[in-house]
Every structure is written in C-alpha cells, then in structure tokens.
C-alpha cells in the first residue's frame, strides 16, 4: 500500500486535512486547480481562500460556533491558528484579513516538508495512484469534470443550489458625515460603519430593491438558498419589514446625537488596513450596474466605490448519510467504484455548511486518514462535542431531506448530568456554557494526537 495521502482541493478543508495528516508524519500530495483554473467565486491564486464574508462567526462559548472553534484551537487546527494570527476587530466575532489569511495558509502548506503541492485539476479519482488514500475536498464549486465523474461513476446523489456573496466597498468612498462608527448597544469596540435610514429612505430603498434587475439565474427561486446567505433582494421581496428585522435592524444603533433610526445598514471591515468594508447581509444577485444604483441609495454610500460586487454561484454537496462514516470516510469505497483506494470527503461537499465547519471536517478527515495509514485506531469524537456532533450529523442523519448543516446546539448531545440540571429558558446562556464546558473537557481528555 502506497502510504501517501492525495488531497484534492486546497480550500479550507483540503489545506486543513493536508496539514493534519502531515503533522502526524504522513506524506501528502495536495492537488489544487488554482491558479490555472478558478471557480466563478474564487479570485485569489492562494490556498485557503474565503469566497464571501471574512467572518468565522461568534467566539463566545455560549454559541455553538464559538465552541467548535475553541475545540479546533485545542486540537491544533491550522485554520484557527492562522485566523487568530490574522484577526481584525469585529466585535464578538472572529473575522480576518482575507488575503493575509490565505497567504499564511499557503505559506504553511508550501513550507511543510511532508506536503507536495501539485497545481493541477483532478477530473477523476482514477487519475490518482491505486491503493492509496484520497481526500476529496473540492468544495461547493467542485469543477464540472470531477463532479460529473463523482455523480455518474460512483452514483453519489448530488444536490445543487445557489449561493450569494456580499459586495465590498472602499472605506474612503463612504460618506462619514452621514455614516458613523458604532457597535450595537455600544458593546465592544465601535468596529462597524453604520449607515442610518429614516422611514422614507428605507421604503424607497426597499421598493428599488424589489424592482431592480437581477443577473440571469435559471430556476433560482425553486432552488434552496445557503442559510444566512439569502440575497438581500429576496428578503425585500418577502415583505417591507423583513430587512428591518434582519440585517438592517436598527436596535442598539442610535445616532451619535442619541436619536433613533428606522433602519441601519452595517458595514464590516474586510482587511487589516481597514481600506475595504463589506456590506453585512447584502449577498445579492443584482446586476452590477443595479448594485451601484440601488446600494448607492443607502445614506453614506451615495458615492461608494465597489472593490467587489456581490455574486451568485452554484453550490453542490453529496448525500453523505450512509455513504460516509463519522470520520468522513466512504464506507463502501469499492462498491462505489473507487477501487482499492480509501476515500474520504471533507468540507462543504460533505454537507457541512460554513467556513469553519468545512475546516473542522478537514481536520477530522486528515487526522483519521493518517491514523489509518499509521495503523492506529480511528478517532471518533462523541456527539457531546461540536466536532463529533457535526460528523455524526453528516454520517448518520436519519431524515429524508439531508441539507447542509452549520454548527448549532441542536445537533450537540447533552449529557444526562446536564439534562438533569433542568436549566430554565431564561438560563439559556448558562445552559449552553455548561454544554461547552463539558465538550471541551472531553476534547482535552481525548486529544493526544
């Protein structure tokens, strides 16, 4: 048996998987089609590229994403370490300078003596040597050739949907005589730029959004949307107040003179230097010219210059339950046509949803692929941890309609001891912190790789 691991795809999951396997002393060949070929959402020539928001969500241990990231931190995740090194202020969230993040991930992988990078597309697993271990981490925008082969050759069910990315504007083009810096309820540092709207401005904006021209996307409305990435115009279509209860929520964002706002558009810093800001929650499929016109109606953005317009993209994942185990390995690889190769999947293509969820699955797949090669027992984390719960969801989801899942407390199992404590609704924070505390104690105990 060839002891090498072949990773396909050097995004968040693939880079993490390669790093973890290499850390355990196994040789890795990482295939990445960039910079020769890029999906419509990728633009950097680097590994570990963030295609939309630059936020890895909340850090607090009373949130499930906060717990997952802390578990990863303690397990030695590359993505989290680099995120910590490249973080930029974002209130209670872990946000990064996206270029610096990708640069540092690329450098780590390039300089790792156990990893060889091959900048080429892999169209079929058959192109890789037999009797090896393969980790497929080609993401939601897996290239057509490989996707076609995976679904045709191996009979994996593929599901498609569409995703949207928010636009980024240059800081110096924002009118700060109108916009103001503040954190909601003045909690934390004033990291966000806020564009206030009165009722009249909001209603005019809403109407313009509803009537704006969108880029051509066939059957879009029949497709599922990435949860939390719903286009702003779809939100406006749902009702006049929908945006005011979503990303344009004005509560806790009063004007500097203390007066209230009807709605507020927030912009979050996108780079270390603070030159670029993304419009929070403004994923969109509007035509570029329409983005300039309609988003220019936002007070403070009348002369905004766009560093990147919002875009829409296809998204893909496999139907993992019953096909993958809790280490993201294909259970019956020969039957599925992979021959004598051991095959793992990692990242968004498995049906996990989100940057860090993708990296998390890459971490589990990389560690276990290496452990298998080293003749060690595989490491299956319990459902009482965020990491274990995510893998269990992907491998063992029982319902009919398997859909991508972001980290949340709904999938984490609580211990009998915690359940017995019968937390009241008002003690939700304490309840969640107790779950997190227990999960982290499990990780500490198990973690000796």
Ligand X SMILES: Cc1cc2nc3c(=O)[nH]c(=O)nc-3n(C[C@H](O)[C@H](O)[C@H](O)COP(=O)(O)OP(=O)(O)OC[C@H]3O[C@@H](n4cnc5c(N)ncnc54)[C@H](O)[C@@H]3O)c2cc1C
Site residues for ligand X per CB under 6 A: 8-14, 31-34, 39, 41-42, 51-53, 121-122, 137-143, 146, 163, 165, 229, 313, 315, 347-349, 354-355, 358
Strand-pairing partners, residue 8, are: 31, 136
Tell me how far, at minimum, the Cβ of 280 lies from ligand X, in Å: 11
Q: Which residue number is nearest to ligand X in terms of Cβ?
A: 11
Q: Is 115 helix (H, G, I), strand (E, B) or coil?
A: strand
Residue with tokens 């793992």: 344
Tell me how far, at minimum, the Cβ of 115 lies from ligand X, in Å: 15
Tell me how far, at minimum, the Cβ of 49 lies from ligand X, in Å: 6
Whole-number Å distance between alpha carbons of 189 and 309:
28
Instruction: Tell me which DSSP letter residue 221 carries.
Output: G
Q: Which is nearer to ligand X, 13 or 64 (CB)?
A: 13
Q: Helix, strand, coil shares of the chain as percentages rounded to 5?
A: 35, 20, 45
Tell me how far, at minimum, the Cβ of 104 lies from ligand X, in Å: 15
Which residues, 6+ apart, have CB-to-CB distance to 95 below 8 Å? 54, 55, 56, 87, 88, 89, 268, 269
Tell me how far, at minimum, the Cβ of 337 lies from ligand X, in Å: 17
Tell me how far, at minimum, the Cβ of 400 lies from ligand X, in Å: 23
Strand-pairing partners, residue 87, are: 96
Q: Which is nearer to ligand X, 63 or 142 (CB)?
A: 142
Q: Which is nearer to ligand X, 146 or 434 (CB)?
A: 146
Q: Which is nearer to ligand X, 13 or 434 (CB)?
A: 13
Whole-number Å distance between alpha carbons of 321 and 137:
17
Q: Which is nearer to ligand X, 206 or 390 (CB)?
A: 390
Residue with tokens 């090498």: 4
Q: Which is nearer to ligand X, 32 or 191 (CB)?
A: 32
Tell me how far, at minimum, the Cβ of 23 lies from ligand X, in Å: 18
DSSP secondary structure string for all residues of 133-157: EEEE---TT--HHHHHHHHHHH---
**Pick from 124, 179, 156: nearest CA to 322:** 156
Residue pair 29/374 in contact (Cβ under 8 Å)? The answer is: no
Q: Which is nearer to ligand X, 349 or 389 (CB)?
A: 349
Phi, psi at residue 31, to the nearest 5°?
-95, 125
């Amino acid at each position: 048996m060839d002891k090498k691991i072949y990773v396909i795809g050097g995004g968040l999951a693939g880079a993490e998987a390669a790093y973890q396997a290499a850390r355990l002393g196994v040789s890795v060949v990482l295939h990445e089609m960039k910079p020769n070929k890029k999906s419509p959402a990728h633009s950097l020539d680097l590994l570990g590229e963030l295609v939309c928001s630059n936020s890895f969500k909340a850090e607090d241990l009373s949130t499930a994403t906060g717990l997952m990231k802390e578990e990863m931190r303690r397990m030695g995740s590359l993505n989290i370490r680099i995120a910590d090194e490249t973080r930029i202020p974002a209130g209670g969230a872990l946000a990064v300078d996206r270029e610096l993040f990708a640069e540092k991930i690329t450098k780590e992988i390039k300089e790792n003596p156990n990893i060889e990078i091959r900048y080429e597309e892999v169209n079929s697993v058959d192109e890789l040597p037999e009797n090896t271990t393969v980790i497929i981490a080609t993401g939601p925008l897996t290239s057509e050739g490989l996707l076609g082969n995976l679904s045709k050759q191996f009979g994996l069910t593929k599901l498609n949907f569409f995703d949207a990315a928010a636009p980024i504007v240059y800081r110096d083009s924002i009118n700060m005589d109108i916009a103001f810096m503040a954190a909601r309820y003045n909690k934390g540092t004033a990291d966000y730029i806020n564009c206030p709207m009165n009722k009249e401005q909001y209603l005019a904006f809403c109407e313009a959004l509803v009537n704006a021209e969108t880029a051509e996307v066939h059957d879009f409305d029949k497709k599922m949307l990435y949860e939390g990435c719903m286009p702003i115009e779809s939100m406006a279509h749902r009702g006049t107040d929908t945006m005011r209860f979503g990303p344009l929520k004005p509560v806790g964002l009063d004007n500097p003179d203390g007066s209230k706002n009807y709605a507020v558009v927030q912009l979050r810093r996108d780079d270390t230097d603070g030159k670029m800001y993304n419009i929070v929650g403004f994923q969109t499929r509007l035509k570029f010219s329409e983005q300039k016109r309609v988003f220019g109606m936002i007070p403070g953005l009348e002369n905004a210059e766009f560093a990147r317009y919002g875009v829409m993209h296809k998204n893909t994942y496999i139907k993992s339950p019953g096909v993958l185990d809790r280490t993201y390995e294909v259970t019956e690889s020969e039957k599925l046509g992979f021959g004598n190769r051991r095959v793992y999947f990692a990242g968004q293509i498995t049906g996990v949803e989100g940057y860090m969820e993708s990296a998390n699955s890459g971490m589990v797949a990389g560690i276990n692929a290496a452990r298998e090669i080293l003749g060690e027992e595989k490491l299956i984390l319990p459902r009482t941890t965020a990491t274990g719960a995510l893998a269990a969801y992907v491998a063992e989801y029982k319902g009919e309609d398997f859909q991508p899942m972001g980290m949340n407390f709904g999938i984490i199992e609580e211990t009998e001891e915690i359940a017995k404590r019968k937390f009241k609704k008002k003690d939700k924070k304490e309840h969640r912190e107790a779950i997190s505390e227990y999960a982290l104690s499990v990780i500490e105990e198990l973690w000796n790789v």
